[in-house]
Amino acid sequence: MEPAQWKTALDTILQDQEASMLALLEELVGIDSPTAHADGVNRMGERLTAWLGEAGFQVRRLPKPPVPEDEAWQKDLGDVFTARTHAPEAGPGIAFIGHMDTVFPVGTAAARPFRLDRAADRATGPGVADMKAGLVAMLFAARALKQSGLLPCPLTLMFSPDEELGSPTASKALAAQLPGAMAVICAEPGGEGGKVTLSRKGSGHMHLKIQGKAAHAGRNYEEGASAVIELAHKILGINAFLDLPRGLTVNTGLVSGGISANSVAPWAEARIHLTYRTLEDGRRVVAGIRELVEKPVVPGTTAHISGGLRLYPLERSPQGDAFFELVREAGETLGMRLSGQHYESAAESGFCAGALGIPTICCMGPEGENIHTAQEYMLPSTLLPRCKLMALSALQAARAFGKQPRPSMLPPGADA
């Protein structure tokens, strides 16, 4: 059977599904699911897997992986959910991946609910593009593939709870569930004008803690050791790794510390985010930050830093380019003109390609822009076409790529 015939079969299955897709999208946007709100994230996972269970998929909520002792906060994150057409022993086959978490706090869904403006071709609401529309496209594409019987291999769907924080738990699940997959399709939002992503940065998250010594700031300042002053020195040192022409960002975005204005601060902490275009750059900066942290400036203070590289960069590769050609051909079959782009932020696609060695394409979800802002929007006219693109690209990849060899890789967290 040729791609045109596959398209006809998919068109028949999906021809009356757009209204149902939009209804499910409205439901998902109405669920507050910021990364740190495990209840909301897990509600998302339960809804997605219930839908897939009704469609005949084998669904599972994965147990939490071991949490590093110095990053106990990970215990409070949501869970990874999966769905499969076959038993795990059959292998992952083609994988669809997406994340359930957003950056918007609890209450945003009520304050800025889902809105659909057909005339303006706009759907709005928290996480509508990044990436709840992508999740809807994943579900309907997966069900269409199952109903059609056209996919000659297993299909695996994975739903991440913590991508916005670098997937500290989801990356472990990806490493456990996807080795040997034939290809990975990531449903991050596509760019307006038919853009899919061929390369994107990697990311890292680090947590710096400073221990000082309290003292009265007026009466006996000299007896204290200011953790806040030490943190200020550390932040300036860390910022020196910034190299924008190289595509390397280092940002200290959250700081706190001290107990009162007239006390020498006995503690301080900061959370640091970095992005990088090559794994080599990421590892170099993490090593440099660790070395910097080990050298105190304020006598009497000590410092500890946890975390490290989270999501590897999606770097251009021959197998990635070959996958894009298949996607481009699928787009042509659907009457879509697609182009590749580089994206200046990280996603789980980079981990699948870089750490697991799987042919991977990113930003296959419905098109949208202004993500992570109150102005985020998705183009509803692209919801069904992008769903069909995912399904047709999966059929192309299943015939072009064999089972990939299991990678020889560092375990997740080895770069931390």
Q: Which of 382, 231, 404 is nearest to 302 (CA)?
A: 231
Contact 56, 139 (CB under 8 A): no
**Given 79, 101, 188, 230, which residue is catalytic?**
101
Q: What would the two tokens of residue 256 be?
A: 């706190």
101 is catalytic: yes
- 73 torsion bin: left (phi>0), alpha (psi -120 to 50), beta (else): alpha
How far the first Cα of the chain sits from its last, in Å, is: 47
Q: What would the two tokens of residue 317 be?
A: 């590769």
Return d(Cα 413, Cα 168) in angstroms, integer: 8
Return d(Cα 55, Cα 386) in angstroms, integer: 20
- Measured CA to CA in angstroms, residue 337 lies from 273, 276, 331, 361 at distances of 35, 29, 6, 16
The alpha carbons of the chain give a radius of gyration, in whole angstroms, of: 23
Q: What would the two tokens of residue 56 be?
A: 């005949």
Burial class, 247, CB count within 10 angstroms (exposed 0-12 / middle 13-18 / buried 19+) = middle
The helix (run of H) or strand (run of E) holding residue 358 is none
Q: What would the two tokens of residue 156 be?
A: 């695996």
Question: Which residue is associated with the tokens 């669904």?
Answer: 59
163 is catalytic: yes
**Given 26, 79, 130, 163, which residue is catalytic?**
163
Return d(Cα 131, Cα 368) in angstroms, integer: 9
CA angle 60, 155, 332 (to 5 degrees): 140
Residues near 215 by Cβ (< 8 Å), separated by ≥ 6?
Answer: 221, 222, 223, 224, 263, 264
Return d(Cα 338, Cα 365) in angstroms, integer: 13
Q: What would the two tokens of residue 284 be?
A: 């170099």
Residues near 404 by Cβ (< 8 Å), separated by ≥ 6?
Answer: 179, 180, 181, 182, 356, 357, 358, 359
Q: What would the two tokens of residue 194 be?
A: 């038919």
> Which residues have a catalytic role annotated?
101, 163
